[in-house]
Amino acid sequence: MSNETVRGDAFENLLREERQFAPSQEFAAVANVHEEIYAEANADRVAFWAEQARKHLTWSKDFTQTLDWSNPPFAKWFVGGEVNAAYNALDRHVEAGLGDRVAIHFEGEPGDTETITYADLTERVKRAANAFEALGVAKGDRVAVYLPMIPEAVVTMLACARIGAIHSVVFGGFSAEALRSRIDDAEAKLVVTADGTFRRGKPSPLKPAVDEALSESGHTVEHVVVVERNKQDVAWTEGRDLRWSEVMDSASPEHTAVGHDAEHPLYILYTSGTTGRPKGILHTTGGYLTQCAFTHSAVFDLKPETDVYWCTADIGWVTGHSYVTYGPLVNGATQVIYEGTPDSPHQGRWWEIVQKYKVSILYTAPTAIRTMMKWGSDIPAQYDLSSIRVLGSVGEPINPEAWMWYRGAIGGNTAPIVDTWWQTETGAIMVAPLPGVTATKPGSAQVPLPGIAVDVVDEAGNSVPNGHGGFLVVREPWPSMLRTIWGDPERFKDTYWSRFEGTYFAGDGAKKDDDGDIWLLGRVDDVMNVSGHRLSTTEIESALVSHPWVAEAAVVGAADETTGQAVVAFVILRGEADLPTGEDATDAIVQTLRTHVGHEIGPIAKPRHILVVPELPKTRSGKIMRRLLKDVAEGRDPGDATTLADPTVMQKIAEDLRN
Ligand code: WT7
């Protein structure tokens, strides 16, 4: 973490926001939860979660202790309990006579569609469970998943969960290098991928990245199962590679789910931290599922019999885990899964989908909302969006302007907006309005959920009074909290539990307004948020300096109207490097370095701008002053540079950029 303090000044305006939108009486009257739920949870937080666990899940064996916090920060929830995630997401709905309910309306990018009922999905998952077991995947083994947004992604995750294998989903937009390091860190035995997907109507390959990731010996992968999605020819390694269709067709559709210990690992999901190496966030079964199911029901007011829910997140991110795969299916919801981009083949594609499936709950990210806002209100206005009754936002702070547009252009000025704050590490939503209870404020996530002890504290860890800012923390363990960093319990303690003794430090700045409502102000560490995706400045810096031309690099997230932040890199080139020459030399260098970052991490990490500079601003102890670079990147005068080892550096950079 850097020593930079919360820079709340830019957000002062936010706190002058005075608009409030109370739930309508009709909505409140039939809402899933009411005001009393806060008092109930406050009276006995642990008992509240025990009640949610028994209400939302079917346990194979009941738990005997709700929370074991005897060895903090290592929590155990629902001790002694046994539960199967796939059984809860599938079989029990079929057993309850809901087999014909649609689980997934799949909409492929090229326009192909598939309607998958709970009975269908259950059978597919049973086959996949048998198939993976036949390939030697046993309880506790790791399975890497590198798939597009297709039903097989959900099937694979649930099949792993069913047999107790730990899935590690790697976002399809990550590069072969990123995939390789994740496969190695988790020591995956199996990789499930696809030949490719479609992007803007054209086939876009995935399997070559898997081949590249596995090109060197020494990895632990025995098999690669390949979904034939775009039907393009792909290189084939006999003996290692297997076709999804063949493997599934020959597998039995019968499979009995057994309960796994509540603390049995469910998945690893890598996320960027403040250092170069991504962290494998580990989630376990009982607590995670409890909080996913509870929040999905309470925050979105899900009515599984009538709602059609659509979360636009990719399963490569935690939102896709908790609010595509686990929460909705455990709750028996009907949901839409869409493979493609919002503007293919036209900018109304999302609204066409909402109209077609009568989507009633939509959950998306501010960056998407701002993009649609830019495209213009007349586009959504061409579609019937009257089915929408709840709107969700996640991934970064939503600016009041985008919030108001979302409410008006998409929500018909009636649908409540729930701005949900949480993280890969928290596993499920932590701070959000409850749509039938809270009078919402544009731009604020507002209230910790019942049973969640979120606070805003000062440098010393003391709770700040209303009207003040500080750091967001969680004071008490919660069911879906990460249990550790895969293979690195010390890093788990250092990263989250050392800044404030005994308290979880989220890495976000926040303010409490005069009503005590929480406003998120963005990261206070070296983590960037680009289009709701988390990127580490250090990770991109490492990628840049791994190129032979680069001597040193500093990366900052500069404010961007659409994507929230944009990656801006400052690089010092090596004097002795064999650099391009001539008129377009700088362009050529910048292009090469951008491509290099794309190759090392993935296209999302490519810097928007790369500035070649003679020097970087550093403190006397050698720490790069990113704050000053951020000022430059955002077009501000960097101001006070006196703490720099060489106070003239900023001048040199500014001069250089003018030339
Ligand atoms: C970081 C976590 C949670 C799923 C998507 C991102 C930022 C997330 C909000 C929000 C303000 C938000 C925070 C957080 N963030 N939601 N509603 N308002 N900021 O998961 O990749 O783990 O990133 O995203 O900075 O720390 P993630």
**Nearest residue CA, atom 8 of ligand 1?**
395
**Nearest residue CA, atom 18 of ligand 1?**
397
Pocket probe for ligand 1: among 393, 508, 518, 536, the residue whose CB has the most ligand atoms within 8 Å is 508
Q: Which of 279, 274, 280 shows the shortest CA–CA distance to 540?
A: 274
Q: Which of 614, 534, 543 shows the shortest CA–CA distance to 573?
A: 614
pLDDT interval class at 8 (50, 70, 90): very low
Cα–Cα dist 335/495, whole Å: 36
Pocket probe for ligand 1: among 1, 14, 281, 394, the residue whose CB has the most ligand atoms within 8 Å is 394
Task: Collect all residues with Cβ–Cβ distance below 8 Å to 569 and sequence separation of at least 6.
Answer: 540, 541, 544, 553, 554, 555, 593, 597, 607, 609, 610, 611
For residue 395 and ligand 1, the question of a CB distance below 6 A is answered with yes
| Å from CA of 395 to ligand 1 middle | 4
Given a cut of 90, whether residue 4 has pLDDT beyond it is no
Pocket probe for ligand 1: among 393, 422, 604, the residue whose CB has the most ligand atoms within 8 Å is 422
For residue 318 and ligand 1, the question of a CB distance below 6 A is answered with yes
Please give the pLDDT value at position 16: 65
Alpha carbon separation from 453 to 386, 397, 429, 456 (Å, rounded): 36, 20, 12, 10
Segment 64-79, tens digit of pLDDT: 999 999 999 999 999 9
**Nearest residue CA, atom 17 of ligand 1?**
421
| Å from CA of 422 to ligand 1 middle | 5
Pair 359, 105: CB distance under 8 Å: no
For residue 66 and ligand 1, the question of a CB distance below 6 A is answered with no
Given a cut of 50, whether residue 7 has pLDDT beyond it is no
3-state DSSP call for residue 550?
strand
Given a cut of 60, whether residue 431 has pLDDT beyond it is yes
**Nearest residue CA, atom 5 of ligand 1?**
395
Cα–Cα dist 312/319, whole Å: 9
Residue 283's identity, in one-letter code, is H
**Average pLDDT score, the chain:** 93
Q: Which residue has the higher pLDDT, 11 or 565?
A: 565
Please give the pLDDT value at position 273: 78
Least confident of 10-19, 195-204, 253-262: 10-19
| Å from CA of 319 to ligand 1 middle | 10
For residue 271 and ligand 1, the question of a CB distance below 6 A is answered with yes
- Preceding omega of 203 cis (within 30 degrees of 0): no
Q: Which of 189, 200, 139, 144 shows the shortest CA–CA distance to 167?
A: 144
Given a cut of 70, whether residue 310 has pLDDT beyond it is yes
Average pLDDT over residues 620-635: 84
Strand 609-612 relative to strand 564-573, pairing: parallel
Please give the pLDDT value at position 15: 57
**Nearest residue CA, atom 3 of ligand 1?**
423
CA angle 348, 350, 355 (to 5 degrees): 90
Q: Which residue has the higher pLDDT, 108 or 7?
A: 108
Residue 144's identity, in one-letter code, is A
3-state DSSP call for residue 202?
strand
Rg (CA), the chain: 24
For residue 422 and ligand 1, the question of a CB distance below 6 A is answered with yes
For residue 650 and ligand 1, the question of a CB distance below 6 A is answered with no
What's the token pair of residue 529? 């948020």
Pair 341, 603: CB distance under 8 Å: no
The atom of ligand 1 lying closest to the CA of 533 is 21
For residue 290 and ligand 1, the question of a CB distance below 6 A is answered with no
Pair 337, 104: CB distance under 8 Å: yes
Please give the pLDDT value at position 174: 95
| Å from CA of 529 to ligand 1 middle | 8
Report the largest interatomic distance among the alpha carbons of the chain, rounded to a whole angstrom: 74
pLDDT interval class at 645 (50, 70, 90): confident
For residue 423 and ligand 1, the question of a CB distance below 6 A is answered with yes
| Å from CA of 263 to ligand 1 middle | 25
What's the token pair of residue 184? 């190695």
**Nearest residue CA, atom 2 of ligand 1?**
423
Average pLDDT over residues 12-16: 57
Segment 524-540, tens digit of pLDDT: 888 899 998 889 898 89
Please give the pLDDT value at position 567: 96
Please give the pLDDT value at position 164: 98
Average pLDDT over residues 634-644: 76
Average pLDDT over residues 273-296: 93
Q: Dihedral sign for Cα 89, 94, 98, 99, please.
A: positive
Q: Which of 212, 238, 242, 207 shows the shortest CA–CA distance to 224?
A: 242
Q: Dihedral sign for Cα 272, 273, 276, 277, please.
A: negative
For residue 285 and ligand 1, the question of a CB distance below 6 A is answered with no
| Å from CA of 60 to ligand 1 middle | 33
The atom of ligand 1 lying closest to the CA of 393 is 17
Please give the pLDDT value at position 276: 67
For residue 319 and ligand 1, the question of a CB distance below 6 A is answered with yes
For residue 611 and ligand 1, the question of a CB distance below 6 A is answered with no
Please give the pLDDT value at position 1: 27
**Nearest residue CA, atom 23 of ligand 1?**
423
Q: If you search the block for the tokens 């399997």, which residue do you land on?
A: 207
pLDDT interval class at 215 (50, 70, 90): very high
Pocket probe for ligand 1: among 363, 369, 421, 565, the residue whose CB has the most ligand atoms within 8 Å is 421
Cα–Cα dist 335/280, whole Å: 28
Q: Which of 441, 77, 501, 543 shows the shortest CA–CA distance to 266?
A: 77
For residue 523 and ligand 1, the question of a CB distance below 6 A is answered with yes
For residue 508 and ligand 1, the question of a CB distance below 6 A is answered with yes
For residue 397 and ligand 1, the question of a CB distance below 6 A is answered with yes
Percentage of residues in the chain with pLDDT exceeding 70? 96
Q: Which residue has the higher pLDDT, 342 or 658?
A: 342
Pair 478, 58: CB distance under 8 Å: no
For residue 198 and ligand 1, the question of a CB distance below 6 A is answered with no
Q: Name 471's bridge partners.
A: 457, 509
The structure's pTM equals: 0.91
| Å from CA of 444 to ligand 1 middle | 13
| Å from CA of 25 to ligand 1 middle | 31
The atom of ligand 1 lying closest to the CA of 422 is 3
For residue 538 and ligand 1, the question of a CB distance below 6 A is answered with no
Segment 220-252, tens digit of pLDDT: 999 999 999 999 999 999 999 999 999 999 999
Segment 251-261, tens digit of pLDDT: 999 999 999 99
Percentage of residues in the chain with pLDDT exceeding 90? 83
Cα–Cα dist 65/287, whole Å: 12
**Nearest residue CA, atom 6 of ligand 1?**
395
Alpha carbon separation from 79 to 56, 61, 172, 326, 489 (Å, rounded): 17, 10, 35, 21, 20
For residue 424 and ligand 1, the question of a CB distance below 6 A is answered with yes
Segment 482-496, tens digit of pLDDT: 999 999 999 999 999
**Nearest residue CA, atom 13 of ligand 1?**
396
Cα–Cα dist 272/277, whole Å: 7
| Å from CA of 525 to ligand 1 middle | 13
The atom of ligand 1 lying closest to the CA of 506 is 26
| Å from CA of 437 to ligand 1 middle | 23
